[in-house]
Amino acid sequence: MKAYNLMKISFYSRSVNEGFARGALAAFLAQADPTVPELADMKTAVSEAVTNCIVHAYPQQVGLVYLTAALYEGGLVKITVTDRGVGIPDVKKAMQPMFTTGNPEERAGLGFAVMQSFMDKVRVTSTPGKGTRVVMSKTLSTKQ
């Protein structure tokens, strides 16, 4: 299936850019006319994915975060967030609610659970030392 429109951006893993990612995604998705709850769900999922990059992928440095969004016929939206950071040694374990590699006093370990609750599908692939890719999809109720 080929996308009828595509957006690709990259930005530094600075916390201020989490809001930028949400805004850029919202601007791109406006053309698909999502409902307000659908848009809020996708922005929240992207916020979690980007925050994971900022906090976990580049814990001691600033690196690049890549955000891609694609629109397909039938209202399908695919969003990919990629980093080239430290990677995740055990993706299955990392996707369990309450698991965190960060400070448990500061982190709830719910990022992947939040992404899964707001999107139809979430797929995570990672290689330690090379980075992580999160691919999320959602079919909008207002079909294109």
* pLDDT mean for each 10 residues of the chain (144 residues): 96 96 97 96 94 89 97 96 90 64 53 81 93 95 65
Active site residue 123: no
72 alpha-carbon distance from chain centroid: 18
pLDDT of amino acid 1: 85
Which listed residue (14, 107, 123, 133) is catalytic?
Answer: 107
Q: What's the pTM?
A: 0.86
Q: Are 107 and 117 in contact (CB under 8 A)?
A: no
pLDDT of amino acid 92: 76
pLDDT of amino acid 110: 56
Active site residue 52: yes
Which listed residue (17, 22, 38, 52) is catalytic?
Answer: 52
pLDDT of amino acid 89: 79
Which listed residue (17, 48, 73, 105) is catalytic?
Answer: 48
Nearest partner of 123 among 57, 69, 78, 84, judged by Cα: 78
Active site residue 107: yes
